[in-house]
Structure 1
Amino acid sequence: MQTYFNIRYEFDKELVGTRIAQQVTKKEADYICVADGVILNVANRNSNYLKIVNGGMFSICDSSYVPLYIRWIYGKRYEQYCGSQIFMDIIRSKKYRMIFMGTSQATLKGLQNNLLKENIDVKSMTFLELPYRTVEDFDYAGIAKEIEADNADIIWIALGAPKQEIFMSLLKPHLKRGVMIAVGAVFKFYSGTDTKRAPQWMIKWHLEFAHRIFKEPKKQIKRCSMILLTLPKLFMKEMICKHRKERYVE
């Protein structure tokens, strides 16, 4: 793991898979954050949320820009590992029993139908709609009982950031085992009934944010503007951090 911009990232995709497999065999519960620009922004504005993001196993880098920033500052090359990728990698691996939690029943139904094309075992897995309420008001003990009864290894959660990360941190003490992974809009992307992910050419050229703004202008313009306001200060802090590390090595 490496810490950049105050987030504990794991960039090694093979190691991500190994750590998940190891955690599933333990009689303990934990979670993984899928850190995009929104999480990076909110975590560096809210120390309590930063503790939650760094309180799990690690975060994977959902932002295509963070690897660019790291390359500019440190000269190191890392790759993005977005929520859509880890989601489909685990689905296609056919290694785990999973439960899918969040969004609407229509989205969950469309998601299940599409995932059956990738993994027939999904047919017997649970797709659970979560009620719309504040993150503090969920019945975490009750939700944990449903997960335990299902015997799920992987618990996919789609509530949107920062709500889903707080949800995982509050659910964790009630669970005996399993790995929770919060994947935001991924359920919508693969449901075939809602927002689709940007085309590959836009993803390649780091323009996925433009696609999201076009699809959800009111929501995404606000998010992007907050990220832009935070970024210069965050960038400068990381530059200072780099120089301190270099001096320490000397």
Structure 2
Amino acid sequence: MQTETIHHISYVNSDLTSFMNHLEQHYIDQEIGAFISTVNPEIGYAAIKDRDYFNVLSSSNFILPDGIGVVMMSRLTNSRLQSRIAGFDVFKELLGIANKKKKRIFLYGAKKNVIENVVSKISSEYPNIQITGYSDGYVQDRAKVAKHIANAKPDMVFVALGYPHQEKFIHNYRHLFPQAVSIGLGGSFDVFSGNVKRAPSWMIRLNLEWLYRLVTNPWRWKRMLSIPKYALAVLKEEKTGKTFYPKPEKDHTKQL
């Protein structure tokens, strides 16, 4: 699949429909596993700061531009991404495929009440899906969860631990479930369960979902500061041809 590289991260350069068709035909139908990462500017900047995390992301089969900021950044460089591919939309598409083809899934992440609501909703709306197991994101023994997933033998693994934990989990343990399409989904379980509302469709169409999140969750403004920092790093590299690495910052990411 065609990609475009921004600050050494190779993003899928496609749209949602084309990407899902490719994933279904070449991976799901062939029972070949895949590691999918969904990256926004905040995650892109985190990968610049943390070389280990960058290496984790780089091990993905597909890195999706899940953020209009990444797409806009591509248009300021020689890399031009076609469109944003939102992780939540991929999640819904994968559920549709799993229901159509009677696939097995495992869900990992979020709070206990949220994951239980997600399981209940999937069972109701996608009756052909076999949920082989699930776990909330606050279980301390992640190796034990990974073994549970391995024993369940799912076709798809949905991990919603937030970055960088979800990507590191898949990277570290995917060898235990190599047949599965595994994807990090951030806060998608909260949205799917109805615990958090997604932006209205018109805002999504206008690429203003980030604004809706900021208005409804004002505390996110600190996280938004990573956008200009990411832009600066990308543009400096574009101008000088040299990779720009910022000074290390304290990691404020909460461990789930």
TM-score interval for Structure 1 and Structure 2 normalised by the shorter chain:
0.7 to 0.9
> SS in structure 2 opposite 1:73?
coil
* Map of 2:62 onto structure 1: 58
C-alpha deviation, 1:33, in angstroms? 0.5
* Map of 2:214 onto structure 1: 213
* Map of 2:120 onto structure 1: 113
* Map of 1:223 onto structure 2: 223
Given that 2:40 and 2:65 are in contact with CA atoms closer than 8 Å, whether structure 1 keeps it comes out as yes
Structure 1: stretches of 5+ with no match in the other structure: 242-250
When the two structures are superposed, what TM-score results if normalisation uses the length of structure 1?
0.82
Query: How far apart, in 1, do the equivalents of 2:81 and 2:26 lie?
Result: 27
Given that 1:91 and 1:118 are in contact with CA atoms closer than 8 Å, whether structure 2 keeps it comes out as no
* Map of 1:92 onto structure 2: 96
The 5 A counterparts of 1:32-51 are: 32-51=36-55
CA RMSD for the aligned pairs? 2.6
C-alpha deviation, 1:181, in angstroms? 0.3
Tell me the alpha carbon deviations over residues 92-117 of structure 1, each in whole angstroms, 9 at most, x when there is no partner.
Answer: 12233211111122111222233345
The 5 A counterparts of 1:172-183 are: 172-183=174-185
Query: How far apart, in 2, do the equivalents of 1:75 and 1:11 lie?
Result: 9
* Map of 2:154 onto structure 1: 152
The 5 A counterparts of 1:165-176 are: 165-176=167-178
Percent identity for Structure 1 against Structure 2: 21
- The one-letter amino acid of 2:205's match is K
Q: 1:78 aligns with which of 79, 82, 99?
A: 82
C-alpha deviation, 1:83, in angstroms? 0.5
- The one-letter amino acid of 1:11's match is N
Given that 1:20 and 1:179 are in contact with CA atoms closer than 8 Å, whether structure 2 keeps it comes out as no
| Equivalent residues, number | 235
Given that 1:9 and 1:60 are in contact with CA atoms closer than 8 Å, whether structure 2 keeps it comes out as yes
Query: How far apart, in 2, do the equivalents of 1:232 and 1:176 lie?
Result: 37
> SS in structure 2 opposite 1:100?
strand
Query: How far apart, in 1, do the equivalents of 2:125 and 2:239 lie?
Result: 43
* Map of 1:248 onto structure 2: none
Query: How far apart, in 1, do the equivalents of 2:237 and 2:9 lie?
Result: 13
C-alpha distance 163-190 of structure 1, shift in aligned 2 (>3 A): same
C-alpha deviation, 1:162, in angstroms? 1.6
Query: How far apart, in 2, do the equivalents of 1:123 and 1:172 lie?
Result: 20
C-alpha distance 149-17 of structure 1, shift in aligned 2 (>3 A): farther
Query: How far apart, in 1, do the equivalents of 2:145 and 2:30 lie?
Result: 20
Given that 2:159 and 2:184 are in contact with CA atoms closer than 8 Å, whether structure 1 keeps it comes out as yes
Query: How far apart, in 2, do the equivalents of 1:106 and 1:156 lie?
Result: 17
The 5 A counterparts of 1:116-155 are: 116=123, 118-122=125-129, 124-133=131-140, 138-140=141-143, 142-155=144-157
Given that 2:135 and 2:145 are in contact with CA atoms closer than 8 Å, whether structure 1 keeps it comes out as no
- The one-letter amino acid of 1:115's match is I
- The one-letter amino acid of 2:206's match is W
> SS in structure 2 opposite 1:167?
helix
